[in-house]
Amino acid sequence: MSNPQLVPSSASAQSDLDSETVDEEIVIQRKNTLLMIPDIFTQLPPVRDSLATQTSQLQDDTVGKCLPLLSGEDELAEYNEHGLPRLDRARHVKFLHKNLAKLPGRFVAADSSRPWFLYWCLAALTMLGEDVSSYQEAVIETARSMQNDTGGFGGGNGQLSHMATTYAVVLALALVGGEKAFEVIDRRAMWRWLSSLKQPDGGFQVCLGGEEDIRGAYCASVIISLLQLPLNLAPESPAWTEDGSSDLLTGVAEYVRRCQTFEGGISGQPNAEAHGAYAFCALGCLALLDHPGRIFQRYLDIPRLVAWLSSRQYAPEGGFSGRTNKLVDGCYSHWVGGCFPLIQACLNNIASGNDGTEAAYNAAGTGASCTLPPAPETLFSREGLMRYILCCCQDQSERGGLRDKPGKMADAYHSCYVLAGLSSAQHDWDLEEPTAAEEISATADPVWAVLPHLEQIFDRRDLVRPIHPVYAIPQQNARAIKDYFRAKQGF
């Protein structure tokens, strides 16, 4: 290296240098790092609305907290040549193990979220490359205490079964894996319980007598698919029909369609406000019903959805917001960022002509050849998301863990979904085998091909383990539980 300014201080600092020289060197180094960071991540947006409101004030405060961290000015961080700090793996691992241990009294309000803590921590540890099988016994015991004879899992012993806690328990059992863990689940009772939540309009209630929303549809689809449940409805279902024409999945896609809003995003229920968390639920749910290349086009306005999803990514922060005029939050790295691998799979399929567009065009008999547009290489700024995650979402204190934004405490929820978002930014996915609607319970499982995305700015050692784009657990864990239950005839 001919330019001494590029030599890291650890290598060049001599013991006889006085502290002033060292300080000067650090300043020079920071300036050089800054040169490597695109202006869009270090400057205020060029177009600003001069009307000050509570909303614009909160936005300015957030940018104010993020900018120094994005500009290589965090005293506690060591930046690489692109201005990115390392992923603090060891500290995050420690934080997550601690969150799986007995929590202090102030967590009592989170008691009914215990299944979630299991899932968030186990999933996050897995993404960080940890082996979580040592938690098998504990997860089995906890899951047993939360299962109801009437089907499903509550948030704790004696609590009402809920779609979200059931989803979290099933994923936690899949993460620790093994026959003993899978056998905890009473699948017949689960099937009855899901039948009783299924509504005539295609959606699902989240608990008996509770609200019907798109979380219900997503969680139900994941549970049905992972547990390979029969699709026919139990007679006590509100959606049961005498002629047997409707099953657990009837009308789910139509329900999802009704949740797309005028903005292009997806709301929790028809005619409500679009939110990133629900966009992921919508796409995840549809992707379990058929190949995204076919089903997204059939039920959603994709251009408007992509425009809305893209508008969730902010500059200079680089992270995503959950809805229009709200702030970036690390968790949307997954809820919004996790939509992109699914949309990418959809567009790749359309570009390859597999979705049937080309055949339909040719069949029209015009004689003209059909030229399909190529799929875009990437749909969001991976660099921006990575910068937000690594610069702004890591708790630099001894505590470790990942967070919503600077100034917030790290927690298990954000640790899980920030890492899941990092996985989306670091990898490319494609769905190899198209699957037919019936195949949700059929023998062949569609295979997601995943490779690290080339041209990255992060240290290769900071690559996290990829997760399945729909189930949000590693693909092999999803496959293991599905194969186990598929091999069983009936319950």
Nearer to K ion, 329 or 439 (CB): 329
The per-residue DSSP string of 65-82 comes to HHHHHHTT--TT--B-TT
Q: Evaluate whether 333 touches 414 at the Cβ level (below 8 Å).
A: no
Residue 411 found at the interface with K ion (CB under 5 A): no
Of the listed pieces 297-305, 318-326, 451-459, 478-486, which binds ligand FPP according to CB under 6 A? 318-326
Q: What share of the chain is helix, strand, coil (3-state, %, to 5)?
A: 50, 5, 45
Is the four-CA dihedral 15, 19, 23, 25 of positive or negative sign? negative
CA–CA separation, 334 and 312 (whole Å):
12
Nearer to ligand FPP, 84 or 169 (CB): 169
Residue 395 found at the interface with K ion (CB under 5 A): no
CA–CA separation, 287 and 423 (whole Å):
19
CA–CA separation, 8 and 25 (whole Å):
9
CA–CA separation, 464 and 402 (whole Å):
14
Where do we find the tokens 């994941």? Answer: 222
Site string for ligand FPP, 135-174 (x = CB under 6 A): -----------------------------x----------
Of the listed pieces 240-248, 319-327, 419-427, 452-460, which binds ligand FPP according to CB under 6 A? 319-327
Closest approach of K ion to the CB of residue 332, in Å: 8
Residue 326 found at the interface with ligand FPP (CB under 6 A): yes
Burial of residue 48 (number of CB atoms within 10 Å: 0-12, 13-18, 19+): exposed
Catalytic machinery residues: 275, 323, 326, 329, 331-332, 404, 411, 414
Site string for ligand FPP, 258-277 (x = CB under 6 A): -----------------x-x
Q: Map the footprint of ligand FPP across residues 171-230, applying CB under 6 A.
A: 215, 218-219
Closest approach of ligand FPP to the CB of residue 163, in Å: 8
Binding-site member from 83, 202, 318, 322 for ligand FPP (CB under 6 A): 322
Query: Which listed option, ligand FPP, K ion, none, makes contact with residue 164 (CB within 5 to 8 Å by class)?
Result: ligand FPP
Nearer to ligand FPP, 164 or 315 (CB): 164
For residue 98, the Cα-to-chain-centroid distance in whole angstroms is: 23
CA–CA separation, 75 and 432 (whole Å):
45
Closest approach of ligand FPP to the CB of residue 384, in Å: 18
CA–CA separation, 203 and 220 (whole Å):
9
Structure token digits, residue 36: 């490597």
- Among residues 193, 197, 198, 111, the alpha carbon closest in space to that of 150 is found at 193
Site string for ligand FPP, 423-452 (x = CB under 6 A): ------------------------------
- Among residues 139, 145, 107, the alpha carbon closest in space to that of 409 is found at 107
Query: Which listed option, K ion, ligand FPP, none, makes contact with residue 414 (CB within 5 to 8 Å by class)?
Result: none
Binding-site member from 329, 383, 395, 411 for K ion (CB under 5 A): 329
State the amino acid at position 390 in one-letter form.
Answer: L
For residue 317, the Cα-to-chain-centroid distance in whole angstroms is: 19
Nearer to ligand FPP, 37 or 124 (CB): 124
Number of residues engaging ligand FPP in binding (CB under 6 A): 11
Closest approach of ligand FPP to the CB of residue 185, in Å: 18
